Structure 1
């Protein structure tokens, strides 16, 4: 079972609206879309081996629908 933590996030309204629209187009909830986007960003950042504080841990597996955008 995955441990989850609830947190408050402040976003500009226009950014929230854009994220919500994108999540809807991907058929995900806003929460699921944010988790997906953060996991993808961390996986990409993990490819940069010269980042300060790199702990060399493998990226977490993605949850939810895989990216359906064209390559």
Structure 2
């Protein structure tokens, strides 16, 4: 595992902390989840045979929690 320091605006930190709590994850786990989801969505966009490079729904909605 690689460790590094990241500086982010206070507002973004607050949003990430709130989302982590809502998803019952640590802040670190939430950031990893969001990065992995974003990268996976970007890879899927690139793989589309029709060349559609539109933004995947997960990234458009800003909703990262599963809907109940």
Asked if Structure 1 and Structure 2 have the same fold, meaning a TM-score greater than 0.5 normalized by the shorter chain, the answer is: yes
- Let me know the Cα RMSD of the aligned residues: 1.9
Which of these residues, 34, 37, 40, is aligned with residue 37 of structure 1? 34
In the other structure, the counterpart of 1:59 is: none
Give TM-score, length-normalised by structure 2.
0.68
Which of these residues, 3, 6, 10, is aligned with residue 9 of structure 1? 6
Q: Which runs of 5+ in 1 are unaligned?
A: 51-66
Q: Which runs of 5+ in 2 are unaligned?
A: 48-63
The higher relative CO (CA closer than 8 Å, separation ≥ 6) is in 1
Aligned residues: 52
Question: Which 4+ runs in 1 deviate beyond 6 A?
Answer: none
